[in-house]
Amino acid sequence: MRNVSYINLDDHINAANIPLIPELARRFLELHGLETIDEQDVLSIEADYPQFFESLLNVINSDHFNLTSKVSSIYQAVQLAGFERICLLMICLVIYKTFGQYKIRGLDQQEFWEDSLRRAVSARMIGETIGLDGSRCFTAGLMQDIGFLLLFLLSPNKGALWAEFRKREPEARYSMERNVFNMTHDQASELFCERWGMLDEIARPICNHHSCNTAQLEFFDEQLCKVLHCADWMSAVYTALDKSFVINRCRQILTENFEMEPYRTEELLAAIPDEVDLTALVLGIKVKGHIEFSQILFQANIKLNEDNINFQELTMRLEQALDERDRLAAELNRDLGLAREIQKSLLPPLMDKKFPIVGINISARDLSGDFYDYFSLPDGRIYFNLGDVSGKGVNAALLMAKTSSLFRCLGKRIHDPGELMSQINIELCETSIHGMFVTMIAGLYCPKSGMLRMVNAGNPPALLFSPDGLARELDAQAPPLGVLSEAEFPEFELDLADQSLYMFSDGVTEGYVAENEMLEMSGLFKTIATMEAGLTPLQRIEKIVDRFNDSTVPFRDDVTLLLLEKQ
């Protein structure tokens, strides 16, 4: 038997409150273990409790008990059927009569004994199928959940939970016991068996039927444990809510434990109601009603149908969700397409060949964070810019649109690139969000004089190439726009003459020309310096972009180039 010393009783459970073993049962059990049963001892007990033993004799003489001939005394019955079998029957009746006298609010004892009878007849049927003693299996089955009744008896305030327990399958119920009582029914059974001095051969399986595989048991006890475990599930077929699950579990565990075919399991399940009725009649145990297994199967099918309907509903909802996702994706694509169109409209058109500036912008995503622009002032000077917004996606595109608009709008009245940048910077700092900033090169070019005034705010250097191939880098002299409201934007002025000014975003130097190889500044230098003569400005910046076509690495960043040279 398991050691019970570790059991932690909660405030409501006191082992001392377990009902005492009735005197007649105690005296009868004392005979167990004696080498020979003395007729006088048995007669003496029988004489002291005539009413009880008369009803016991009725059971023994019933067809159900299957004795070879009728008996007129308990001693005769012991002689014919053996002491242990009679003793087990006596224990069943004593337990029923002892516990049956307690009333617990919320707990329907009739239901409890009906369930116990189902476990008992199930255990007997399985036991007989696999060659165990049916009487012993029956008694153990009847008593296997006595600890459950005991838990309620010792914590009567929890009686209202009885119905909730009954709806559950055995494992779920077991786990609920732990939560509700801080003790499980097999642990409570241990207390009971100890207090009543129960026969070890009954006590061991009762106390271990939820741990058949882990408890150290002899073969026979282990077999009986497994029988009780299966009987528990078979009984639950008639009470648990999820009948299809419990039926399937019965098929599974009976096959696992006893290699029983599923059809045989169903035969045993179908036999339970009649067996219960018969046994209840013989033992004088009242049961509530008779439910056929066919009704249970019908309910299980309803449950299966409900599950199926739920599944269909789930599928339908999933399909609806996918449709909704597709609809939103299409909507988003439409919006993105429109945004892309608007963004493209912010880029200037390609001008005629006499215009000194050409530009190109390739977006790594749907929307670009890079931009460029140029426009002529009434006096013939040309404003231009190239910018790159930090980050990517819609937020970068929106800031790009804002900065580009500010440049075009303010540029028409502020003809001073440094001042223009300063004003845009203040505006961006005032509405700064998430630390987003804009690197930008902006300049004012006079085609008549060839003079150029330019500001580089945090952008990669512009490259000034002379016709003899010499190049000069025009580094940033100011931080990006939108970082520091008081930042200054110094201009530098130069005579462009017949030089070419290449401006670009960092997507160009960080673009991949081969796997693991970026173009970098040196590559850009070389590309420009080695271009064949006679190419138009547009062809030259396209040549630079062509460098990325050999790479299988997709664009990670937007690529933007602007070329200014005298025409």
Interface ranges with other proteins (CB under 8 A)? 388-392, 429, 432, 434-437, 439, 457-461, 476-480, 482-484, 487, 506
CB nearer to other proteins: give 61 or 432: 432
User: Which residue's structure tokens are 């516990």?
Assistant: 99
Tokens of 377: 């002032």
In degrees and rounded to multiples of 5, residue 473 shows phi and psi of: -95, 135
Cβ proximity to other proteins: between 205 and 480 the closer is 480
Of 259 and 430, the one with the shorter C-beta distance to other proteins is 430
The CA distance from 96 to 113, in Å, is 8
Nearest distance, CB of residue 505 and other proteins, angstroms: 10
Cβ at position 480, least distance to other proteins in Å: 6
> Which one, 338 or 484, has the nearer CB to other proteins?
484
Shortest CA distance to 129 belongs to which of 298, 254, 305, 242? 254
Minimum CB separation from other proteins for residue 550, in Å? 23
Task: Please report how close the Cβ of residue 458 comes to other proteins at its closest, in angstroms.
Answer: 4
Residue 233 · residue 83 · CB < 8 Å: no
Q: How far is the CB of 377 from other proteins (least distance, A)?
A: 28
CB of 344 to other proteins, least distance (A): 22
Q: Which is nearer to other proteins, 436 or 464 (CB)?
A: 436
CB 250 within 8 A of CB 265: yes
Smallest separation, CB 213 to other proteins (Å): 43
The candidate with the shortest Cα–Cα distance to 140, out of 202, 210, 226, is 202
Which is closer to other proteins, CB of 141 or CB of 417?
417
Measured in degrees and rounded to the nearest 5, phi and psi for residue 371 equal: -160, 165
Query: Hey, what amino acid is at 332?
Result: L
CA distances from 514 to 51, 475, 554 (A): 102, 27, 10
Comparing C-alpha atoms, which of 517, 519, 471, 464 is closest to residue 492?
464
What DSSP string runs through 152-218? Answer: HHHSGGGGGGHHHHHTS-HHHHHHHHHHHHSS-HHHHHHHHHHHHT--HHHHHHHHHTT-TTTS---
Q: Following DSSP, what letter does each residue of 397-425 receive, concatenated?
A: HHHHHHHHHHHHHHHTT---HHHHHHHHH
Shortest spacing between CB 441 and other proteins, in angstroms: 12
* Beta carbon nearer to other proteins, 281 or 484: 484
Q: Nearer to other proteins by C-beta: 141 or 460?
A: 460
Q: Calculate the CA dihedral of residues 518, 519, 522, 524 and round it to 10 degrees.
A: -170
What type of residue sits at position 508?
V
Structure tokens at 391: 């980050």
